Amino acid sequence: MKKTLLEIRVRYVETDQMGVAHHGSHFTWMEAARTELMREKGLPYRQLEERGFFLPVREAYCRYRNSVYYDDIVLIEVELLELKGASLKLGYRIRRKEDGKVAAEGYTVHPFVDTEGKIVRVPDFFKALFS
């Protein structure tokens, strides 16, 4: 499956006193890549929500490998790892653009919920986007 790639420059607000990207920033970048994936598939989150479906984060994991610093450019790859039942799992790889070193790898798991917060099965129209 084709991966979505997003390029982001590390902002000052995303770093600590030493100029290293704060560990929480990686999850923000994952979210940005996830949003771009949906947009590339032709179903921005806004449209998904207008159809009555939401994708909250149920599980999030990140393994940090190499530091990223203020003003570095990072490349965030996201791909669908699993789509079954009532949830999807997305995988991420964050690399420094300058040298290609992997800064972090992780995943998120998202159940499909309706407007009342009830878990529902993955809708067929969504499955079709990834087939």
Binned average pLDDT, 10 residues per bin, the chain of 131 residues: 92 96 97 97 96 98 98 98 96 98 99 97 94 86
Q: How many domains does the chain have?
A: 1
Q: What is the largest CA-CA distance in the chain?
A: 47
Identified catalytic residue from 16, 72, 99, 114: 16
Active site residue 114: no
| 21 vs 113: CA distance, rounded Å | 32
Whole-structure pTM value: 0.94
Q: Residue 30: helix, strand or coil by DSSP?
A: helix
Tokens of 47: 């449209």
Q: Which domain holds residue 124?
A: 4-129
Residue 3 CB neighbours (<10 A): 14
Check: CB of residue 62 under 8 Å from CB of residue 106: yes
- Tell me the CATH number at 93: 3.10.129.10
